[in-house]
A and B are shown apart, each in its own frame.
Chain A
Amino acid sequence: MSYFTQNSLLSFLGYPVSLQTFLPLSAPSLHFTMDWQGQKLAEQIMQIMLLVFAVTAFVAGYVLGSFQMMVLVYAGGVTLTGLITIPNWPFFNRHPLNWLDPSEAEKHPKPQVTVSSKKKGFKRTIEPAHRLDPSLPTANLVTLA
């Protein structure tokens, strides 16, 4: 889903949406979030659980000779998978990203965009953001001035 359709979907669903949806609010956030690893884990869990429940439901229905049994087992499986993968459970947030504090961010200037023009079009160079501690995992986002 593209960034803009996701934003419009979120605003339609009633979520507070701003262009800075991916960045947390400056005050301690009341939103529970998933981190990137958690999102990947949630997607994998969803796919595997649905496939397992589908196979189980089909086998159960075929052996018992009941189509209704197959549909019921599968519907139960879908609901269970939804309960596990859709809400932002804490175990999806075990590798949270460490964002800079706003006060820290002020100490380090935002990168400057230098524009140099040549006869054939012009080239933009963007200096990389400062890194506080190379050992911490950082997201490779570049903020524009």
Chain B
Amino acid sequence: MHSFGYRLNGLLTFAVTILALMCVIASLSDNLNIPSPSAEIQIMNINWFQKQPKGSDEVSLRMNISADLQSLFTWNTKQVFIFVAAEYETRKNSLNQVSLWDAIIPAKERAKFWIRSSNKYRFVDHGKNLRGKEFNLTLHWHVMPKTGKMFADKIVMSGYSLPEEYI
């Protein structure tokens, strides 16, 4: 520690190293949080169900999504990204996933909500497999931290089905 510049360099390096360690510990502290989220999705209405000109099926739904995701937030959470996906099985693929709607929850206060919305993104199949199809609606969430590891999980809600004939 001989001169002004030397001490300044030493101080800044040590300070930044300790800051990095603090961020690692903050991220590890997220594991102490055990979340207990809940969600429910109702399909209020099937707006239309048609075959596209090129031959694929397409559906438009209106959903009522209600959820309580407040327990996902910790002191180290920047935002929570959620999306709703429809999952179903066809002859060709054992699992098809189509994202219907998503949102960003920036703060804990906004994490308990309900929203009625038609699907933001098109529910299109590869083929003509959707008539009478039974599908699950899954609410996925990604807890994005301020520093460190991102946690992702989901709730699967089953029992939804599409009409037998095109509307």
Contacts and interface: CB of A to CB of B under 8 A. Distances in A.
Given A51-B18, A62-B29, A78-B15, A39 B8 contact: no
Given A47-B14, A51-B18, A74-B19, A67 B5 contact: no
B10 interface: yes
Contact of A50 (B2, B5, B15, B29): B15
A88 B11 CA distance: 15
A4 to B, nearest CB: 13
Interface in B3-17: 3-8, 10-11, 14-15
A46 B14 contact: yes
Contacts of B21: 54
Contacts of B11: 46, 50, 78, 81-82, 85-86
B7 A85 contact: yes
A47 B13 CA distance: 11
A58 B14 CA distance: 16
Given A65-B75, A85-B11, A10 B5 contact: yes
A6 interface: yes
A54 B75 contact: no
Contact of A42 (B1, B19, B75): B1
B7 A46 contact: yes
Interface footprint category on B: 20 to 34
Nearest to A66: B75
28 contacts: A1-B2, A6-B3, A10-B5, A39-B1, A39-B2, A43-B1, A43-B10, A46-B7, A46-B14, A50-B11, A50-B14, A50-B15, A54-B19, A54-B22, A57-B22, A58-B22, A61-B26, A67-B26, A67-B76, A67-B146, A74-B19, A78-B11, A82-B8, A85-B11, A86-B7, A86-B8, A87-B4, A88-B4
Interface of A: 1, 6, 9-10, 13, 15, 34, 39-40, 42-43, 46-47, 50-51, 54, 57-58, 61-62, 64-67, 70, 74, 78, 81-82, 85-88
